[in-house]
Amino acid sequence: MVNHRLSLRAFLWRRACAKRDWAIVAVCVALLLFALTFVFDDGAISTDLTSADDLVPLTLLRNAKSTGAFCLDGSLPAYHFQKGFGSGADNWLLHIEGGGWCNTIEKCSYRKTTALGSSDHMERFVKFAGILSRDPSQNPDFFNWNKVKIRYCDGASLAGHPESELKNGTRLFFRGQLIWEAVMNELLSLGLSKAKQALLSGCSAGGLATLIHCDDFRDFLPNSATVKCLADAGFFLDELDVLGNHTIQSFYHDVVSLQGVSKSLPKDCVDIMESSKCFFPQEIIKNVKTPLFIVNPAYDFWQIQNILVPDASVSDGYWKRCRLNIHNCNPNQIEILQGFRGSLLKALGEFQQTKDGGMFINSCFIHCQTLVADTWHSLSSPRINNKVSSSDSGI
């Protein structure tokens, strides 16, 4: 249930690294491999035998056309909705799908030929698992809530603006902010406007979108509602890569410039620094006033493979095997990985002191944990002080 504040504060701040860290990582790698046998990405349907009753249909946002809220290709945005029942009938959980970003016309043009840029390519039914599951043994806190999976089809964490659309013959719609507003307006008409408790969550790029829109989500809802946010694997670090290049900083700069994201970022931040810096979570959370919970692995494999050791840095083969499997890392590489972990903890240092914030930081080599039963709430889930990411969290 949503309590007045987030009570889970099982952090790894003062824990010795070395053997214990890597033992936990080994367990998490095994969990990851197991999980990937069922789920390819956070938009995929589980390959196990699933009854029709377990599948949640896709709903196109029909009213979006009048507001100009379109996916990259001009198709209608979409979501999956499962109605709550019993004690959860007046409670809502929204989850924003992840899927990276596009930072060039070429990449956004390719993206619009996929489910990450067009509802024409989205699965018509998905299975809700982990934090979206209706199985009380898998999801004891939220199983009977109204649950929504917001599909991600703009390539800028639901934060792009149409003023930045390029009129160069390439038909692309940068409407992320409008998509967010249109989804919210439709859900408000379905009962969200009467919510007693509400949680906005998201994975990866959806986790970043959760941070960007957290306070806005609070403003949409009644003052009497208890509202909180949860960002899963959305805390992307502003770090140099192993060659000393600003790979992620340059990439984010291009995303923000291409899609006009700065208008959706905290004004207090963009007034004092280059706007793309404000696209990094460590800057965004300084301005978030709504209670926030962060779930993040200290060895996030997406960040290791795209921020710390991007493709351009593996041409000589030194990092090739290590970045794919940490058991292949030599002592020097492990030291660099532990330094990346240290950067995450340092970036979260100020947030650790906030009374309305909480976090679950484990040492898994994984990316996104709330949508998979084996990392969200199961006997094999990663634990800190005998707590899994969902248990006793007070979310």
pLDDT tens-digit series, residues 380-391: 666 666 665 554
Q: What pLDDT was estimated at residue 30?
A: 39
Q: What pLDDT was estimated at residue 207?
A: 98
What are the tokens at 236? 């992307």
List the beta bridge partners of residue 228: 199
Q: What pLDDT was estimated at residue 315?
A: 80
**Eight-class DSSP state of 172:** -
Rounded to an integer, what distance in angstroms lies between the CA atom of residue 216 and that of residue 185? 12
Q: What pLDDT was estimated at residue 158?
A: 98
Q: Does pLDDT of 33 surpass 70?
A: no
Q: How confident is the model at residue 376 (pLDDT cuts 50, 70, 90)?
A: confident
Average pLDDT over residues 344-366: 92
* 3 state SS of 133: coil
As annotated, the active-site residues are 204, 300, 367
Q: What pLDDT was estimated at residue 177?
A: 98
* Class of domain 18-376 as given by CATH: alpha beta
Alpha helices in 191-330 (DSSP H): 205-220, 247-259, 267-270, 281-284, 301-303, 320-324
Rounded to 10 deg, the angle between the 18-36 and 331-347 helix axes is: 90
Neighbours of 72 (CB within 10 A): 28
Which tens digits make up the pLDDT trace of 224-253?
Answer: 999 999 999 999 999 999 999 999 999 999
Identify whether the C-beta of residue 249 lies closer than 8 Å to the C-beta of residue 269.
no
Instruction: Give residue 90's identity as a one-letter amino acid code.
Output: D
Q: What pLDDT was estimated at residue 170?
A: 74
Q: Does pLDDT of 104 surpass 90?
A: yes
Average pLDDT over residues 46-69: 78
